[in-house]
């Protein structure tokens, strides 16, 4: 059994969090509030250090142009007063514009050109053939405006059914991967309790 106070606190909080599996209780609620409070406090400290490191310190060192983003950040607090709410519209516009530009810049190579180049492969293996057929069938499944899609006897409609099955396989694999990840987290916590905290199982397991 561990003698480290930090491990004891982590083990007890883990059991209190898992007590929700039995039913909602005050101990679980206290653990939940503690987790949210620590997360909020940690985020606040990180935000303060980021402002000091990225905004205040450069201004002190003579980089005066950092005053502009600092002022924009201060203008965001104008939303707390009806009389100064208009001030927050300008920094919000800047944030939305920059965010949309960065998202668009990353979305085009990742979701368009990257997907196209990944599909343009030689059909020399079974995996490549399945990849190209699955991609084309999935795209065909979303062509709702074509008249041949609505005709159940057409070859295009039957090909779109392959796209539906491809989507089902992809969603099933994604869900299975999510379940596997959560199961790994559960196994890690059980191993922490039985090995690091209580010492019931050996460290070699």
> DSSP string spanning 53-71?
IIIIHHHHTT-GGGHHHHH
The confidence score (pLDDT) of residue 150 equals: 65
Mean pLDDT for 103-126 is: 87
| 148-166: average pLDDT | 80
Separation of alpha carbons 12 and 113, rounded Å: 50
Alpha carbon of 77 to those of 56, 65, 90, 156, 184: distances in Å? 18, 21, 12, 56, 42
Nearest to 128 by CA among 139, 117, 120: 120
Task: Return the SS3 of 134.
Answer: helix
| DSSP 8-state class, residue 154 | S
Distances (CA, A) of 137 to 96, 112, 158, 161: 36, 17, 9, 8
pLDDT at 95: 93
pTM: predicted TM-score of the whole model, two decimal places: 0.66
| pLDDT tens readout for residues 40-83 | 999 999 999 999 998 899 999 988 999 998 999 999 999 998 89
Q: What sign does the CA torsion over 131, 137, 139, 141 have?
A: negative
Q: Supply the pLDDT for residue 145.
A: 63
Residue 110: other Cβ atoms inside 10 A: 10
Helix (H, G, I), strand (E, B) or coil at 183: helix
3-state secondary structure at position 153: coil
How high is the pLDDT of residue 97?
95
190 pLDDT more than 80: yes
Distances (CA, A) of 194 to 8, 20, 21, 169, 198: 12, 20, 19, 37, 5
């Amino acid at each position: 059994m561990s003698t480290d106070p930090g491990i004891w606190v982590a083990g007890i909080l883990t059991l209190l969090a898992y007590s929700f599996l039995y039913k909602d209780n005050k101990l679980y609620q206290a653990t939940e509030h503690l987790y949210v409070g620590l997360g909020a406090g940690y985020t606040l400290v990180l935000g303060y250090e980021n402002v000091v490191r990225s905004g205040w310190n450069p201004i002190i060192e003579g980089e005066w142009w950092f005053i502009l983003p600092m002022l924009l950040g201060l203008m965001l607090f104008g939303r707390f007063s009806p009389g100064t709410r208009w001030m927050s519209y300008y920094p919000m516009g800047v944030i939305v514009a920059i965010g949309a530009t960065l998202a668009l810049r990353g979305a085009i190579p990742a979701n368009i050109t990257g997907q196209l180049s990944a599909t343009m492969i030689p059909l020399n293996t079974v995996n490549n053939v399945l990849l190209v057929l699955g991609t084309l069938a999935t795209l065909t499944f979303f062509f709702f405006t074509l008249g041949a899609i609505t005709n159940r006897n057409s070859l295009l409609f039957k090909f779109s059914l392959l796209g539906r099955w491809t989507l089902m396989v992809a969603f099933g694999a994604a869900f299975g991967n999510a379940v596997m990840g959560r199961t790994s987290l559960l196994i890690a916590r059980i191993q922490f309790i039985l090995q690091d905290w209580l010492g019931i199982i050996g460290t070699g397991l």
